[in-house]
Amino acid sequence: MRVLVAGGDGFCGWPTALHLSANGHEVAIVDNLARRAIDEELGTDSLTPIASLQARVERWRQLSGREIDLEQGDLGDPQLVHDLFTELRPEAVVHFAEQRSAPYSMIGRQHAVCTQVGNVVGTLNLLFAMHELAPSCHLVKLGTMGEYGTPNIDIEEGYIEIEHNGRSDVLPYPKQPGSFYHLSKVHDSHNIFFACRTWGLRATDLNQGIVYNVQTQQTRSDPTLLNRFDYDAVFGTAINRFCVQAAAGVPLTVYGEGGQTRGFIDLRDTVRCIELAIETPPPAGQMRVMNQFTEQWSVMQLAQIVYEVAQEMELSPSIENIDNPRVELEDHYYHAKCSKLIDLGLQPHLLGRETIASLLDEAVRHRDRARLQTVLPEANWRSVPYWGSEPAIARDAALQSAAARSNSPASM
């Protein structure tokens, strides 16, 4: 089918676009290159050298014989979104085009504002375009398990049956988001739920856990197709950060006592989940919610497995507990349901020593590119400043720089 991948240059978007293209879908990408611009703003970079989006797509065409159309632009521009739907008439939209970092949203007031305005407005523009131009289109929206927080009851998949004063109803599961980023995802979910009920749209909200692994079958097939490897304190996940620290010979930094437990998923399963969701759309008028993770780990458990595998590879790691910059429970109940994607046919890749060893190999291979000064946290949930750096200015300049370095993307 015709699939628009919004945010198709990003960590999840790029391998998803390739996976869908490899499996016969007609794929188009829209991206504003903001993730690359934020690297310039923060003084960091992917551990793996990544090619420009244009070079990536051209190399994929050469290797596979399949075209991926490109449009460089921002979902915050309503005319661009309207034009995309008018020209493409997508049957499905995979929506990754959001600022995805909780720490980034907690750097300062303007970072929080940029995150919420960009994320919420972009999603609203998609919903209005679907309503007017493609009412049967299926929106597959990447949410986050962070919307739920860490309640002292089991986390259901999106909805919960409530009994109150002798009456019962099935309602959206209560949300306890942990950052301004996670709050933007909650706002998205509410807007999508409303649009489906009111306009008869169809959507799948995929509440994704933390993604580990950085490559898929397609991204590994050629150096130009390599996916990004984030390891810094703002965009890097704990596993990536630990692997880079082990490769560099510095302590693995665990926030607090390390009892924070979350859901995790392999990147290879992420792209498969997107495919399964596209192939089995919900009925019109429904926002289906699926919890997209395959297993649960605590931060200290992850540090320990990286420590053990690094020792086997003759690295010399250590583990160090540091002050937790976040406001979160470190000792808590956590049990989330995740059966719907398994029922659709997902066969999970579970985290094992082989995957950790692969990430450590990648970290060792590229450790000369590591900027270790970016690994320790700077954003502190308890002291988010009103004034400070203005990311909108820095990002605008960086976006212009990124655009100047690349060829003009082909039009739809």
276 close to 344: Cβ distance less than 8 angstroms: yes
Please give the DSSP secondary-structure letter assigned to residue 368. G
254: left (phi over 0), alpha (psi -120 to 50) or beta: beta
Q: Give the dihedral sign, CA 175/151/339/293.
A: positive
SS3 215: coil
Which 3 state secondary structure label does DSSP give 189?
helix
- Give the tokens for residue 292: 């997209």
Specify the length of the chain in residues: 412
Task: Determine the Cα–Cα distance for residues 104 and 42; give it in Å rounded to an integer.
Answer: 10
Residue type, 286: Q
The amino acid present at 42, given as its one-letter code, is L
Please state, in angstroms and rounded to a whole number, the distance separating the CA atoms of residues 409 and 11.
Answer: 19
DSSP 251-320: -EEEETTS--EEEEEEHHHHHHHHHHHHHSPPPTT-EEEEEE-SEEEEHHHHHHHHHHHHHHTT----EE
CA distance 3 to 1: 6
Contacts of 195 (CB under 8 A, 6+ apart): 127, 130, 131, 201, 203
Q: Give the DSSP letter string of 89-153.
A: --SEEEE--S---HHHHTS-HHHHHHHHHHHHHHHHHHHHHHHHH-TT-EEEEEEEGGGT---SS
Catalytic residues: 144, 181, 185
Q: Which helix (H) or strand (E) covers residue 60, if one does?
A: helix 53-64
- The DSSP element (H or E) to which 38 belongs, if any, is helix 34-42
Do the strands 167-172 and 159-164 form a parallel or antiparallel pair, or are they unpaired?
A: antiparallel
DSSP state at residue 388: S
Contact 69, 410 (CB under 8 A): yes
